[in-house]
């Protein structure tokens, strides 16, 4: 049995109190409340999520407390400090290299055993630690009573109770942190005793390590020695890289671990882990009282019994998403119409006051048409983000990952792939980044390759617009179908890649299931805003720029000779109209009908002229150039131009269509065509049919990932090879499927 007794207290640093801003790092298990605490302390709005593994980078903030500046670093969540995952390496290297003055270990009080496992390892690193007993509200509710004084004494560190989501306890915590930073309180670098045999071997390795004084100054030898016994590859690397007698040290260490293995009959890291847990259990028995459970299941367990059911789990997930989309469209469509009409009117007003010419065309068609086209679908995107954020914050998304795990295995995909894929349904850029949580490079590359196939926030407006235009009664169902189609193509493509490019075993994983929590409205809205803000920012910058370029490419060179004299045709329409109106006394409704016909003929004429203009432009020529290939999918040159532009960012497809169709052109009084300008104009174009619209949606879902995704994939995978492959395979797959859909649709109709 390990003696739960401390050893080797570190002497307080004589240089204190600190004369600079102390650096304080927040460490802890995923979902322990680190980010909530970070936000409560700094007043920032960092993403608080229930996905383990979304935040793999550290986030830095500053705060002032009692006249002192403090620098705060939010580290990614980890269960341990071995070097198996990117989060563990980020956390560990930060503590080792940057040497924060204090590490605050955010402890989930409802799960002390697992959380203290990390705490012990932080202590082993030799940094001063302060524990935040977070989730203390929930622990009390569950009948877990922690004697924090007693536990603090046992562990040798200050402990403060907190409720991070409400900011409770933050002042006490900061005071404890400053006390430690300034040397007023001790946070002893207390090491648990691993038992006689292990301590002996540890001692041997320590002695070998001490032979290099330089090395001893840059690393905690105690920690390196344990890690060497555990055969930790990262620690071995550190020794090989910077210890003067690396070969000797490693020899001693290897002998020691072999001895331990023979003596205990298991690997040294297992023995060390068991000792840690034994110590924790001992400490908890002394400092924690758990009310006996009344046999009644709590709400989380009851809900999970249904939601995580082997047969119901996946259908429930699909239905939940269908409900989210149905709500989104039900509420979002009228709002989106309103915004679109607003931009249409703005364009009409500007068109009325500005003189004809390039400037007017640029402002009305280029800018209002382009940016307005994208922002018109903003309400739908916003509601969608709201729904997804809610599901995430409630804790449902983690369940979805859990139930999809088996499903993913059917396709030979790793269970953890679900998270990057689900994140990609918001945006593939963070999706590709969160594939870092897959430690096996094969699984990781594979996941990155299929992530862009998901329905993302940028494809949302395009697909939503086409659904609204061609399948108005079933828009939500269609949209959901395409969302599902994204998953389907990702799975099937993944399976094909797995069987061809990435053969091999897959590794198991454990999905954390946080308890359900009713999120605060503020939390959900912040979270939603995180996703939405980038959408608006993109519309204001990138899409604005792309709209200008596309408008120019669609406007120049100008037509030198039109196929017909449009001015003469317009005069003819006016003449015919006045002749008809000048006849005998006409009833009021008849007059109105003639006026409407005139307006419609003129708009039609305007459209023909505009189309002729666009067809002659650079972009139009490029669009026509690929027509022989794209025609098989039912796409004319206008669609091709939009698809070209969509490689920049998928939303731009809408702005390009907006420009081609002259979104801002109507007179405000033409009520019958002014409704939802782009949607109705596209519907009215005879070049489209439901089959070509469906083919277009499928094409947009699959073809070439946007530039941002390709760039981040290049960064993550370190070469141009995979992004190039991604662009190539998605283009071919998109074309084949779009052609199949269009041709089958044509046969059926
Ligand atoms: P992180 O993964 O450690 O950064 O954890 P987060 O800060 O993202 O928190 C995870 C979830 O726990 C969020 O839904 C928070 O609102 C919730 N949460 C955080 N601290 C507390 C707390 O003290 N009490 C309760 N009841 N919920 C909390
Ligand atoms: Mg976090």
Q: SS in 3 state form for 360-393?
A: HHHHHHHHHHHHHHHHCCHHHHHHHHHHHHHHHH
Residue 32 in contact with ligand 1 by CB distance below 6 A: yes
Give the closest ligand to the alpha carbon of residue 56: 2
**Rounded distance, CA 191 to CA 206, Å?**
14
Residue nearest to atom 24 of ligand 1 (CA): 135
**Cβ 37 vs Cβ 71: under 8 Å:** no
What is the structure's pLDDT at 508? 53
**Rounded distance, CA 414 to CA 443, Å?**
7
Q: Indicate which atom in ligand 1 lies nearest the CA of residue 37.
A: 7
Residue 313 in contact with ligand 1 by CB distance below 6 A: no
Residue nearest to atom 2 of ligand 1 (CA): 31
Expressed in angstroms and rounded, the spacing between residue 31 Cα and the centre of ligand 2 is 7
**Exposure string over 121-140, b if 16+ CB within 10 A, otherwise e:** bbbbbbbbbbbbbbbbbbbe
Cα 638 to chain centroid, rounded: 32
Give the closest ligand to the alpha carbon of residue 162: 1
Residue 124 in contact with ligand 1 by CB distance below 6 A: no
Residue nearest to atom 8 of ligand 1 (CA): 48
Residue 35 in contact with ligand 1 by CB distance below 6 A: yes
Residue 379 in contact with ligand 1 by CB distance below 6 A: no
Expressed in angstroms and rounded, the spacing between residue 445 Cα and the centre of ligand 2 is 24
Expressed in angstroms and rounded, the spacing between residue 107 Cα and the centre of ligand 1 is 11
What is the structure's pLDDT at 512? 59
Give the closest ligand to the alpha carbon of residue 30: 1
**Rounded distance, CA 302 to CA 224, Å?**
45
Expressed in angstroms and rounded, the spacing between residue 171 Cα and the centre of ligand 2 is 21
For 504, the 3-state DSSP assignment is coil
Residue 164 in contact with ligand 1 by CB distance below 6 A: yes
What is the structure's pLDDT at 211? 93
**Rounded distance, CA 667 to CA 292, Å?**
74
Residue 165 in contact with ligand 1 by CB distance below 6 A: yes
Give the closest ligand to the alpha carbon of residue 27: 1
Expressed in angstroms and rounded, the spacing between residue 570 Cα and the centre of ligand 2 is 63
Of 35, 79, 165, best ligand 1 pocket probe by most atoms within 8 Å of the beta carbon:
165
Give the closest ligand to the alpha carbon of residue 133: 1
Residue nearest to atom 14 of ligand 1 (CA): 393
Low-confidence ranges of the chain (pLDDT < 70): 1-17, 47-57, 83-84, 188-190, 293-297, 373, 377, 437, 439, 505-514, 534-535, 538-539, 583-584, 662-677
Residue 52 in contact with ligand 1 by CB distance below 6 A: no
Expressed in angstroms and rounded, the spacing between residue 33 Cα and the centre of ligand 1 is 4
Residue nearest to atom 9 of ligand 1 (CA): 33
Which tokens belong to 245? 């007698």
Q: What is the side-by-side strand order in the sheet with 23-28?
A: 59-65, 68-74, 23-28, 102-108, 129-134, 159-161
Residue 36 in contact with ligand 1 by CB distance below 6 A: yes
User: Residue with structure tokens 């009644």?
Assistant: 296
**Rounded distance, CA 100 to CA 116, Å?**
20
Average pLDDT, the chain: 83
Residue 512 in contact with ligand 1 by CB distance below 6 A: no
Residue 398 in contact with ligand 1 by CB distance below 6 A: no
What is the structure's pLDDT at 550? 81
Residue 138 in contact with ligand 1 by CB distance below 6 A: yes
Q: Indicate which atom in ligand 1 lies nearest the CA of residue 162.
A: 23
Q: Which stretches of 417-565 are DSSP H helices?
A: 418-424, 428-434, 441-450, 459-470, 475-500, 521-540, 542-555
Residue 53 in contact with ligand 1 by CB distance below 6 A: no
Q: Indicate which atom in ligand 1 lies nearest the CA of residue 29.
A: 3
Q: Indicate which atom in ligand 1 lies nearest the CA of residue 74.
A: 4
**Cβ 620 vs Cβ 554: under 8 Å:** yes
**Cβ 126 vs Cβ 172: under 8 Å:** no
**Cβ 538 vs Cβ 651: under 8 Å:** yes
Closest Cα partner for 709 from 435, 434, 453, 429?
429
Expressed in angstroms and rounded, the spacing between residue 355 Cα and the centre of ligand 2 is 54
Residue nearest to atom 19 of ligand 1 (CA): 33
For 297, the 3-state DSSP assignment is coil
Other beta carbons less than 10 A from residue 21's beta carbon: 16
Give the closest ligand to the alpha carbon of residue 55: 2
Residue nearest to atom 16 of ligand 1 (CA): 165
Expressed in angstroms and rounded, the spacing between residue 276 Cα and the centre of ligand 1 is 26
User: Residue with structure tokens 């080792």?
Assistant: 96
What is the structure's pLDDT at 129? 94
Other beta carbons less than 10 A from residue 5's beta carbon: 11
For helices 721-748 and 475-500, give the axis angle rounded to 10 degrees.
130
Expressed in angstroms and rounded, the spacing between residue 48 Cα and the centre of ligand 2 is 6
Expressed in angstroms and rounded, the spacing between residue 154 Cα and the centre of ligand 2 is 28
Residue 519 in contact with ligand 1 by CB distance below 6 A: yes
Residue 48 in contact with ligand 1 by CB distance below 6 A: yes
Expressed in angstroms and rounded, the spacing between residue 622 Cα and the centre of ligand 2 is 47
- pTM beyond cutoff 0.75: no
Of 25, 27, 30, 31, best ligand 1 pocket probe by most atoms within 8 Å of the beta carbon:
31
Q: Indicate which atom in ligand 1 lies nearest the CA of residue 517.
A: 14
């Amino acid at each position: 049995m390990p003696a739960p007794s401390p050893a080797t207290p570190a002497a307080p640093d004589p240089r204190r109190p600190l004369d600079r801003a102390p650096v304080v790092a927040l460490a802890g298990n995923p979902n322990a409340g680190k980010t909530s605490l970070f936000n409560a302390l700094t007043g920032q709005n960092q993403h608080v999520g229930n996905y383990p593994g979304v935040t793999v980078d550290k986030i830095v903030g500053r705060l002032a407390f009692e006249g002192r500046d403090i620098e705060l670093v939010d580290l990614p969540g980890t269960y341990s400090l071995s070097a198996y995952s990117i989060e563990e390496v980020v956390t560990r290297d930060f503590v080792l290299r940057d040497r924060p003055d204090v590490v605050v270990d955010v402890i989930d009080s409802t799960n002390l055993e697992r959380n203290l496992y990390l705490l012990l390892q932080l202590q082993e690193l030799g940094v001063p630690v302060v524990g935040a007993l977070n989730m203390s509200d929930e622990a009390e509710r569950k009948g877990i009573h922690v004697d924090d004084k007693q536990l603090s004494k046992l562990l040798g560190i200050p402990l403060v109770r907190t409720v991070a989501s409400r900011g409770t306890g933050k002042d006490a915590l900061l005071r404890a942190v400053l006390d430690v930073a300034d040397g007023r309180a001790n946070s002893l670098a207390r090491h648990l005793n691993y038992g006689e045999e292990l301590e002996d071997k540890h001692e041997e390795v320590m002695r070998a390590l001490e032979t290099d004084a330089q090395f001893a100054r840059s690393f905690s030898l105690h920690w390196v020695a344990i890690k060497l016994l555990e055969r930790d590859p990262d620690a071995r690397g550190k020794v090989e890289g910077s210890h003067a007698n690396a070969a000797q040290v490693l020899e001693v260490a290897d002998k020691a671990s072999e001895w331990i293995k023979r003596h205990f009959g298991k690997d040294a890291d297992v023995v060390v882990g068991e000792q840690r847990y034994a110590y924790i259990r001992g400490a908890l028995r002394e400092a924690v009282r758990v009310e006996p459970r009344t046999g009644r299941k709590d709400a989380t367990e009851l809900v999970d019994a249904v939601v995580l059911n082997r047969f119901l789990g996946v259908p429930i997930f699909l239905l939940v998403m269908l409900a989210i989309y149905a709500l989104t469209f039900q509420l979002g469509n009228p709002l989106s119409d309103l915004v679109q009409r607003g931009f249409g009117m703005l364009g009409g007003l500007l068109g009325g006051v500005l003189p004809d010419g390039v400037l007017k065309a640029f402002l009305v068609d280029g800018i209002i048409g382009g940016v307005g086209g994208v922002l018109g679908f903003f309400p739908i995107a916003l509601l969608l983000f709201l729904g997804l954020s809610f599901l995430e914050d409630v804790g449902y998304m983690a369940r979805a990952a859990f139930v999809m795990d088996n499903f993913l295995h059917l396709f030979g995909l790793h269970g953890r792939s679900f998270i990057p894929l689900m994140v990609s349904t918001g945006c593939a850029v963070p999706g590709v980044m969160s594939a870092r949580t897959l430690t096996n490079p094969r699984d990781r590359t594979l996941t990155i390759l299929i992530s862009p196939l998901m329905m993302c926030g940028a494809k949302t407006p395009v697909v939503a617009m086409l659904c609204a235009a061609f399948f108005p009664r079933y828009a939500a169902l269609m949209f959901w179908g395409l969302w599902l189609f994204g998953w389907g193509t990702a799975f099937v493509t993944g399976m094909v890649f797995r069987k061809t490019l990435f053969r091999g075993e897959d590794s198991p994983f454990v999905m954390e299931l946080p308890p359900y929590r009713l999120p605060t409205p503020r939390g959900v809205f912040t979270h939603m805003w995180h996703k939405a803000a980038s959408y608006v920012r993109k519309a204001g910058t990138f899409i604005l720029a792309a709209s200008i370029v596309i408008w120019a490419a669609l406007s120049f060179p100008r037509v030198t000779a039109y196929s017909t004299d449009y001015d003469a045709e317009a005069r003819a329409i006016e003449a015919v109209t006045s002749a008809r109106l000048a006849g005998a006394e006409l009833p009021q409704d008849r007059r109105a009908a003639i006026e409407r016909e005139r307006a419609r003929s003129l708009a039609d004429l305007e459209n023909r002229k505009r189309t002729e203009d666009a067809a002659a432009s650079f972009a139009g020529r490029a669009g026509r150039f690929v027509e022989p290939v794209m025609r098989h999918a039912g796409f004319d040159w206008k669609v091709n131009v939009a698809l070209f532009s969509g490689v920049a960012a998928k939303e731009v497809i809408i702005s390009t269509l907006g420009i081609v169709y002259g979104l801002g052109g109507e007179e405000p009084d033409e009520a019958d065509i002014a409704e939802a300008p782009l949607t109705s104009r596209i519907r009215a174009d005879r070049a489209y049919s439901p089959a070509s619209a469906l083919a277009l949606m499928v094409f947009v879902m699959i073809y070439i990932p946007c530039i941002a995704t390709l760039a981040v994939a290049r960064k993550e995978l370190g070469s141009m090879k995979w992004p190039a492959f991604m662009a190539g395979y998605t283009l071919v797959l998109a074309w084949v499927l779009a052609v199949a859909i269009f041709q089958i649709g044509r046969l059926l109709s």
